[in-house]
Structure 1
Amino acid sequence: MSKDIKEQPAAENPEKLHQLKVTKPETWAAGIPGVAAAFADILEETGALRGPGALFKMNQKDGFDCSSCAWPDPDDDRSPIAEYCENGAKALAEEATTKKLTSQFFVENAVADLAKLDDMEIGKKGRIAQPVYLPKGATHYQPISWPDAFKKIADYLNSLASPNEAAFYTSGRTSNEASFIYQLFIREYGTNNLPDCSNMCHESTSVALAEVIGIGKGTVTLNDFYDTDVIIIMGQNPGTNHPRMLTALEKAKKKGAKIIAVNPLHEAGLMAFKNPQTAKGIMGISTQLADLYLQVQINGDMALLKAIEKLLYDFEQQEPGQVFDREFIEKSTTGYEEFIAGVKNFDVTALCAAAGVPVDKVVEAAEMLRHKSRIIICWAMGITQQKNGVDTVKEIVNLTLLKGSIGKAGAGLCPVRGHSNVQGNRTMMIFDKPKKKQLDKLKEVFGFEPPREPGLDVVESIKAMQEGKLKMFFAMGGNFLSATPDTTFTAEAMRKLKLSVHVSTKLNRSHLVHGEEAIILPTLARSDKDVINGQDQFISCENSMGVVQMSKGILEPVSEDLLNETQIVCELAKATLGSRSVVDWDKYADSYDAVRDVIGKVIPGFENYNQRVRLPGGFYLPNAPREGKFETEQFKDKAPFTITELPSQTMADDEYMMTTIRSHDQFNTTIYGMDDRYRGIHNERRVIFMNPKDIAKAGFVQGDKVDLFNYYDNIERVARLFVIVPYDIPERNTATYYPEGNVLIPINSVALRSNTPTSKLVFIKIRKHEVVF
């Protein structure tokens, strides 16, 4: 790496340790400690009235949507006390804070000095209160007016040799209305370079499901959880990542459902739940969740699924027609004979060894499924962020097709999305590879010819920056640098940009690792009042199960110099496109209703949008597989079985598999605190979880300081100064938190066909820490 790059502001968290304390991991989640932690953050950031008052409106039918995870709200009655979780409350505390960054803050703090802080310290500084600009060669951001900011960005966009020299990123926080207007501007400008956070999380799901069931979304509703027999949770940690799911699991258990947990780490939120809204939970009595815990090794899920399929096939031979749903297979699927010919030859013992799960445990799982068809399979990043992520999702579908567990009450596929409107962004055409019929509809409604060639996704955008093909990067929310892989490579790429622009609520590391020039445009948060022409407005979001509902903020914004995201896009479109635009941007800037009216003309399922979104609880989007109807590009009316290959994983004797995980004190790249109490980690994030046998075999002991290395593509990547913590994780498996571990994820290690970074499987070497001067 060149000298000038080394002297740039830090792209990673500082290599320093705190006073780590390790306690015994918890065996249950939530309870009174969760309530206490949530209110502590709220009170510290917002005071006694502002934040607590907003909590009672969060996720209510007449309130605002949580900016954290995408778990759905109940269709019927919602808790009047707390329709939110601990992490939702922490997310509200972050955005409802009374701390704000004025021009004086940026005068007093150089970019390089801010970069020396860790991510939590950067985020805790407060809300950005006005637009700021970093000139070429400058050390400090300085105030800029909105008109001047829009003109500068527009001038850059109009100076490019091609619209394809710019990329426009979107985070999951962006509303349906802003997302639609954003993609409309970008496509009228002339590019499909629309990388988004889906590229890094559930893209494998979207690709796989679109090919086998005809839609890139799940098929269940929340009510299906209350009418099911078996729930399988794979590669997901609901206690930390989707805590409100625990309430649904508890309700399912009370109605007799069994739960199978599949995860390399023993996670508290999969074992038991103390519901703080019940007398039992308040008294400290927990509900057991997982009836069976299958502790697979990292990426052992495909082998596990194949082993279960072979056992079910054997059961079917013993009881013809009693295990497989023959009627469903005949009527609604294709390719069964070819698929089952392969299943016949599976070796259960070898597959269980590849999965890392004892044969008797897998047999127990198959027995739980043997005579059941009301089966829900949930999954998240542990499945999708693997090289074979697309095929593993297809294997999940294979299992549901064998059992007829799709298109009926209490059964189906449940990919659990991360950010709260990431699914809505894609529905609103935030996608680098739009379908022809979508572009045709844009042309029909608006009268301009949208670009037809595929654009760049996240990984492709980073490479294009590195190669000098991208000159400008515009981010609608998010913390792009900290969310993406190969941190050193990505930071170097971003520094080659001519201009980087971020629409943000709070400061993050992506503002500090920038192009030659940089601009930050401050915007409203979900909980903020959005007032246009004296009228309180509302936006809308889509949750993980396809429900679109309104979200109306109630808090006074911390600054009068903030615009909502739709206004920002419309003003930028006017400044950039001028008289050559055929879109009435002023109309959309002034009225979300006008935006929703035109969405109803362009996006299927949004007819009468304005009327339906005002119904309490919103409305469901069409979902044909939910009703047992399948139509893919290759097959009509039938879902195909897929023949997949078992992944081959080989390691050198001194190598380990590493997965990146969240702590309980974070959501995506937002760090709320330094604790991960469910796993027994306090006041530290630079830890690596290892199996005790591996620690001893390598000659380490608990508390040793180590450096982590990855050598993919013969490039040395180093994450320095981590502390070893023994944990219940399979041998040769390790885990680190992200973004601290992201530097080890190779830019070229991606899931086949979805191009998702393989954040859940990185091969590393571990050595004693060396001090580098």
Structure 2
Amino acid sequence: MSIADQANNVVATAIPTPHGDVWLLPAKSDDKLRLKPVKQKSTGVSAVLNSFRYAWGEAGVVRGTLPLLQLNQKLGTDCPGCAWPDHDGKRATFDYCENGAKAVAHEADTRKLTADFFRSHSVSELSTHTDYWLEQQGRLTEPMVLRENATHYEPITWADAYAMIADELNGLSSPDRAAFYTSGKATNEAAFSYQLFARQFGTNNLPDCSNMCHESSGRAMSKMIGIGKGTAKLDDFEQANLVLVVGQNPGTNHPRQLIALQQAKRNGAKIIAVNPLPEAGLMGFMNPQEALGMLGVATELTDLFLQVKINGDIPLFKGIMKQMIEWEDAEPGSVIDWGFVNEYAAGLDELLDDLRSADWDTLVIRSGIDRESMRQAADWIRSSEKIILCWCLGVTQHTNGTQNVCEMLNLLLLRGAIGKPGAGPCCVRGHSNVQGDRTMGVWEQPKESLLDRLQSVFDFDPPRKHGFDSQRTALALHRGEIDVFVSLGGNFLMALPDTRYAAEGLAKTRLNVRIGTKLNRADLVAGRQSLILPCLGRTEEDVREASNGRPPRKQFTSTENSMGVVQSSQGKLTPASPNLRNEVAIVCEMAAATLGDRAKNPWRAWANDYDLIRDGIAAVIDGCENYNEKVRQPGGFYLPNAARERQFNTDTGKANFTVNPIPPDTIQPGQFAMTTVRSHDQFNTTIYGNHDRYRGILNARRVVMMNAADMREKGLQSRDPVAVTSHHAGETRTLQDFQVVEYPIPRGCVAMYYPEANPLIPMTSTDASSNCPSFKHTAVTIERC
């Protein structure tokens, strides 16, 4: 892009770095878009075939199949994909989904990135390829360094890499000029070690991926029920009368959840789905573990589909509850669970005043849901004693994301649907251990009780000043306030909004360090120097030299799922390279090199014996007493969750009702509300392929999904090239070379793929409470190119 284009607020896709110009999106799309009908049911034989096709294509028949037999089994390997829980009792032999199989195959890849590859490709040339192409080049096999003014990565020894990190960190004018990012894939042992390293170094700059996804959920639940985690368990789905699935696409992002929804339906529950897009996984499920499912016979899941407008959740739930209160006022005691409310809840009067004063016309217009549909939902809710409410990022990634979650929790509290079998909030986390990372202390705003325990156990003075979350880290990077940026997995650059802004910040550092299994675009946007430290995948065997002269010993790690179960995970595969190390060992060795005698815990011993780390976890983290013993139990153990027992550790000592205003309508005439979505062939920022099979969009990701009537009004047809411009606080950002396609989405709304649409989303458009970015609601205009 030219300087003139940049001046006209066109989002340039290339930025200057100390190592040459780096493209944030390929300069020209080579998509060959094909369209098929939108599917009305998910999974079945096609998902099974795609799983094995991908696994065998990436890893070969043997290496691609063996880890699947261990996946999600007791004392097996925890899936490196999503955080959906496993059954406490007997588990199916094939207890994984299509995306889980892809995640395993992705790290079991037999292709290898060697020094020859990096000698042949400059970082600038690598950046001209798609993110999918970068991931498909194979596994990282040895530490690589991009030195000052160099254009190519070159090999570096582990010892020299650690020495470089130590020199840069110890040379900082302040510990707060470093930031330590964590991906939700990091295990408990890695996360605990990482946060301890950062705090012994002297900073609470611990941004993590939850800042960009479920931070709003944690804030809302902590405020209302006293814990930032859901209370529903997997077995509760078998007992539920009603399940609400809100702002979530389980068929793509959490396919094993469909089995729980199917079981709920078979036991007599009704399901209400709330979403702007009619996702296949919300409609019908062909269970691949059953003969009929393999033959294409689907269980119809959704009984009532409420196709809400983007960010219409608060007016929808306010309308449902308003109807419930009208019935309650007409017949006292017929709707509200007064036994629960009087004993366990506070603040109901303010909520009732808000609901009674709400205007019906406004609720209908702003939600996009007619009053009769709201009445139907309210009727099922008032007649159900056991209600589970599931939600995901469609709810949280708004400027009012925390309030969205609060309004839904109000509904559960009115019905007393918490702290009893078959009921409760079910916050469906994304990455496999994102909840565990927070439990282990990865948080930029640590509680004083955690810092006090760290101080007592490890004999140092932890920093007390709050650090930067992900978005504030990006702002600090751009201001030149962060000199060293360390990433424990993930793809920080492509996970953030405002991609160009984020890249400009990363390019200002003195050193970027990323621990990972494969190359991604974050490795190409470097400051003065950059390190890639290759780690083992979760499915690979980890053998470490033991301390005290003992023989080498196989290590294992642990994770926490969405429902608070901690369990062990041990890989079985031969590592892709003998030069790989577990992320746990890398963190410990990095800490040892940096801290030296300043740390009282034996970091080098920790690197070789993860039991020692778990002893530290047991001494610091609530509910983890006797951690080494409990995590070795088949199936693991539940962490304490007081709200499950109707003990609400809030400021009032009770569950708190809240009042949540309808968000202002920021979409101006001629504009559309844009939401980002994931395709079926991706998980978070990882792209497994270019197909979105259930939505019928193949071979393309630069796509804008748009209502047919809106397209006609603008004179557009499917496959037309368009430019998309976002509007926020007087700023505009434009992406070109996209194609528009007709899709059954509400009028005035459009959808685009994440992370391709991220450059449109302002860094400062965040939730006031959680600071979570508004990936799901951005004002855009669309014009034909």
Once the two structures are superposed, the pairs formed by residues 288-687 of structure 1 within 5 Å of their partners are 288-533=300-545, 534-632=552-650, 634-636=651-653, 638-687=654-703
Provide the secondary structure at the position in 1 that maps to 2:218: helix
Amino acid across the alignment from 2:566: V
Provide the secondary structure at the position in 2 that maps to 1:49: helix
Residue 366 of structure 1: CA displacement?
0.7
CA distance in 1, matches of 2:376, 2:361: 14
CA distance in 2, matches of 1:743, 1:327: 50
CA deviation profile, 1:500-536 (whole Å, cap 9, x unmatched): 1100100000001111110000001110101112221
Provide the secondary structure at the position in 2 that maps to 1:94: helix
CA distance in 1, matches of 2:51, 2:303: 29
Judge which range, 576-585 or 258-267, deviates more: 576-585
Amino acid across the alignment from 2:49: A
Amino acid across the alignment from 2:233: T
Residue 686 of structure 1: CA displacement?
0.8
CA distance in 2, matches of 1:49, 1:127: 17
Q: 8 Å contact 1:85–1:244 — kept in the other structure?
A: yes
Q: 8 Å contact 1:106–1:142 — kept in the other structure?
A: yes
Report what 2:120 is aligned to.
108
Provide the secondary structure at the position in 2 that maps to 1:520: strand
Amino acid across the alignment from 1:699: G
Judge which range, 166-175 or 584-593, deviates more: 584-593
Amino acid across the alignment from 1:763: A
1:693 aligns with 2:709: yes
CA distance in 2, matches of 1:28, 1:606: 41
CA distance in 2, matches of 1:516, 1:17: 32
Amino acid across the alignment from 2:43: A
Scaled by the length of structure 2, what TM-score is found?
0.96
Q: 8 Å contact 2:666–2:779 — kept in the other structure?
A: no
CA distance in 1, matches of 2:748, 2:240: 36
Report what 2:16 is aligned to.
5
Judge which range, 418-427 or 511-520, deviates more: 511-520
Residue 373 of structure 1: CA displacement?
2.3
Aligned pairs, number: 766
Report what 1:750 is aligned to.
766
Q: 8 Å contact 1:311–1:348 — kept in the other structure?
A: no
Provide the secondary structure at the position in 1 that maps to 2:21: coil
Provide the secondary structure at the position in 2 that maps to 1:8: strand
Alignment match of 1:728 (pick from 727, 744, 764): 744
Q: 8 Å contact 2:727–2:778 — kept in the other structure?
A: no
Amino acid across the alignment from 2:706: M
Q: 8 Å contact 1:503–1:522 — kept in the other structure?
A: yes
Report what 2:44 is aligned to.
31
Q: 8 Å contact 1:466–1:496 — kept in the other structure?
A: yes
Residue 62 of structure 1: CA displacement?
2.2
Provide the secondary structure at the position in 2 that maps to 1:261: strand
1:53 aligns with 2:66: yes
Alignment match of 2:784 (pick from 759, 768, 771): 768
Residue 4 of structure 1: CA displacement?
6.8
Provide the secondary structure at the position in 1 that maps to 2:200: helix
Residue 338 of structure 1: CA displacement?
2.0
Report what 2:86 is aligned to.
73
CA distance in 2, matches of 1:560, 1:649: 56
Aligned pair in 2 of structure 1 residues 4, 340: CA closer, same or farther (>3 Å)?
closer
Q: 8 Å contact 1:415–1:544 — kept in the other structure?
A: yes
Q: 8 Å contact 2:386–2:421 — kept in the other structure?
A: yes
Judge which range, 325-334 or 577-586, deviates more: 577-586
Residue 569 of structure 1: CA displacement?
1.4
Residue 673 of structure 1: CA displacement?
0.5
Q: 8 Å contact 1:315–1:370 — kept in the other structure?
A: no
Structure 1, unmatched stretches of 5+, are none
Residue 41 of structure 1: CA displacement?
0.5
CA distance in 1, matches of 2:95, 2:324: 39
Amino acid across the alignment from 2:279: E
CA deviation profile, 1:676-716 (whole Å, cap 9, x unmatched): 01000111111100000100111111211001111323333
CA deviation profile, 1:362-400 (whole Å, cap 9, x unmatched): 111111112212001111101100011111111111111
CA distance in 2, matches of 1:140, 1:198: 32
* RMSD of equivalent CA atoms: 1.1
Amino acid across the alignment from 1:502: R
CA distance in 2, matches of 1:93, 1:398: 42
Residue 17 of structure 1: CA displacement?
3.2
CA distance in 2, matches of 1:563, 1:481: 24
Scaled by the length of structure 1, what TM-score is found?
0.98
Residue 408 of structure 1: CA displacement?
0.6
CA distance in 2, matches of 1:729, 1:312: 28
Report what 1:140 is aligned to.
152
Alignment match of 2:213 (pick from 178, 195, 201): 201
CA deviation profile, 1:283-332 (whole Å, cap 9, x unmatched): 21100000000000000000001001111111212332121100100000
Q: 8 Å contact 1:13–1:740 — kept in the other structure?
A: no
Once the two structures are superposed, the pairs formed by residues 174-189 of structure 1 within 5 Å of their partners are 174-189=186-201
Q: 8 Å contact 1:17–1:686 — kept in the other structure?
A: no
Report what 1:237 is aligned to.
249
Judge which range, 641-650 or 220-229, deviates more: 641-650
CA deviation profile, 1:567-598 (whole Å, cap 9, x unmatched): 11111111111122222112211211111111
Residue 11 of structure 1: CA displacement?
1.7
Amino acid across the alignment from 2:91: R
Q: 8 Å contact 1:499–1:517 — kept in the other structure?
A: yes
Report what 1:123 is aligned to.
135
Amino acid across the alignment from 1:509: R
Q: 8 Å contact 2:206–2:442 — kept in the other structure?
A: yes
Residue 14 of structure 1: CA displacement?
4.0
CA distance in 2, matches of 1:711, 1:324: 42
CA distance in 2, matches of 1:293, 1:681: 22
Residue 402 of structure 1: CA displacement?
0.5
Report what 1:98 is aligned to.
110
CA distance in 1, matches of 2:287, 2:353: 46
Provide the secondary structure at the position in 2 that maps to 1:169: strand
Amino acid across the alignment from 1:587: A
CA deviation profile, 1:704-762 (whole Å, cap 9, x unmatched): 10011113233331111111110100001000001100000101100111011100001
CA distance in 1, matches of 2:765, 2:592: 40
Residue 55 of structure 1: CA displacement?
0.6
Amino acid across the alignment from 1:76: G
Alignment match of 1:165 (pick from 177, 194, 199): 177
Q: 8 Å contact 1:266–1:728 — kept in the other structure?
A: yes
Provide the secondary structure at the position in 2 that maps to 1:503: strand
Provide the secondary structure at the position in 2 that maps to 1:41: helix
Amino acid across the alignment from 1:5: P
Provide the secondary structure at the position in 1 that maps to 2:712: helix
Amino acid across the alignment from 1:45: E
CA distance in 1, matches of 2:90, 2:276: 36
1:268 aligns with 2:280: yes
Report what 2:727 is aligned to.
711
Residue 13 of structure 1: CA displacement?
4.0
CA distance in 2, matches of 1:348, 1:252: 32
Provide the secondary structure at the position in 2 that maps to 1:9: strand
Report what 1:216 is aligned to.
228
